Amino acid sequence: MTRLEGVLLAGLALLAFGSLWAGPVATPLAVLAHPDDPRFIILTQLRLPRVLLAVLVGGAMGLSGAALQGYSRNALADPGVLGVSSMASAGAVIALYFGLTAVTPWALPVSAALGAALGGVLLMTLAGWSESATTFILAGVLLNTLGGAATALALSLAPGPWAQAEIINWLMGSLTDRSLDEVGLAAPFILAGCGLIFLTGRALDALTLGEAAAAGLGVSLRGLRVLLVAAVALSAGASVAVSGVIGFVGLIVPHLLRPHVGARPSALLRPSLIGGAILLLAADTAVRLAPTPAELKLGVAMAVIGAPFFLLVLVRGGVQGRWSAGR
């Protein structure tokens, strides 16, 4: 473990304890020893699932963003920006539209993972063989449009206003009113996807030398592509299934941490996992504590943060075509 990872883990632990404690009703962790205390329910059934899901979803998004940026050598790569999350959202909305979640609770994460997998395959097919960052981003724009169109179609054909309201509310992204059941539902997919991403570290390092050099070092480019698509589909798909659409985590975190880890993409993976968890947990805690009439949706809050950041990266030359590991 590096010093940076240790600092990030310490920060995550402190933030998690603070998030469990803070709220309209202060709830110390000592309440866990007293199940008869009314605050026990607040801690275990309301705040704990939110903290766990924020760590899982944020970590998955941060890690996925770091892996996609390492693969594409493009600082703008991110599951949301490149349309993978949009396709996952479309898959989940289709499951909601057809009522598949009433048949089995696994329908939502599986449908979202399948949508993310389709998005990843289309993305790699459209732009995977091109070294142009512009082509890569345009492919992502196309996927975002395709996923948005599928979602809009499901909304327009929804059987009633209640179904439309449910889909819209879910699309805005939130961790409110989630339970430990959702944690158990998403965790296997997210952990499996993250585990697969870590297997790509050596290949991502080799890819910084160019595709020909990486192949000469024994890296299977096709195998790397398939593994990365499967990994991002699992992690992003399951994340979208339980939280809705929450973007920009995978864009912001790797970009902020890259100057502290050096040029190797594999060195950015673990810090991005922890950093993503910190960012999303901090954002979720902030929207929960904000003095607003109704709780601000987490996806909206991240868009408010992420859109200016995305513009900043663009202005600084993030799409000028080459990966800059030190930026």
Q: What is the pLDDT of residue 320?
A: 43
The CA-atom distances, in angstroms, between 251 and each of 2, 67, 112, 158, 163 are: 22, 11, 21, 33, 32
- Do the domain assignments include residue 2? no
Spatial neighbors of 95 by CB under 8 A, at least 6 apart, are 101, 107, 108, 110, 111, 112
- Do the domain assignments include residue 174? yes
The CA R_g of the chain, rounded to the nearest whole Å, is 19
Residues 63, 5: Cα–Cα separation, whole Å? 14
- What's the pTM value of the predicted model, to 2 decimals? 0.88
Give DSSP secondary structure letters for 196-224: HHHTTHHHHHHHTT-HHHHHHTT--HHHH
- Do the domain assignments include residue 50? no
Q: What is the pLDDT of residue 195?
A: 97
Contact 127, 73 (CB under 8 A): no
Orientation of helix 3-21 relative to helix 48-72, angle to 10°:
150
Contact 151, 77 (CB under 8 A): no
Residues 62, 275: Cα–Cα separation, whole Å? 7
- Do the domain assignments include residue 91? yes
Assigned token pair, 87? 């396709």
- Do the domain assignments include residue 87? yes
Measured from the Cβ of residue 259, the count of other Cβ atoms closer than 10 Å reads 10
Q: What is the pLDDT of residue 326?
A: 40
Assigned token pair, 162? 């209640």
Assigned token pair, 44? 């275990």
Query: Among 203, 52, 267, 224, which residue's Cα sits nearest to residue 124?
Result: 224
Write the pLDDT tens digit of every residue in 5-29: 999 999 999 999 999 988 777 788 8
The CA-atom distances, in angstroms, between 266 and each of 55, 98, 204, 209, 234 are: 21, 40, 7, 14, 20
> What residues make up the domain containing 79?
62-315
The count of C-alpha atoms lying within 13 angstroms of the C-alpha of 59, restricted to the half-sphere facing its C-beta, is: 24
Q: What is the pLDDT of residue 267?
A: 95
Q: What is the pLDDT of residue 134?
A: 64
Write the burial class of residue 284 (CB in 10 Å: 0-12 exposed, 13-18 middle, 19+ buried): buried
- Do the domain assignments include residue 8? no
Residues 86, 67: Cα–Cα separation, whole Å? 18
Write the pLDDT tens digit of every residue in 264-304: 999 999 999 999 999 999 999 999 888 888 888 999 999 89
Which residues of the chain fall below pLDDT 50? 318-327
- Do the domain assignments include residue 213? yes
Count of the separate structural domains present in the chain: 1
- Do the domain assignments include residue 234? yes
Contact 244, 173 (CB under 8 A): yes
Alpha-helical (H) ranges within the chain are: 3-21, 38-41, 48-72, 84-97, 107-127, 133-156, 161-171, 180-198, 201-207, 211-216, 221-243, 249-257, 265-289, 298-315
Residues 20, 14: Cα–Cα separation, whole Å? 10
What is the CATH classification number for the domain harbouring 149? 1.10.3470.10
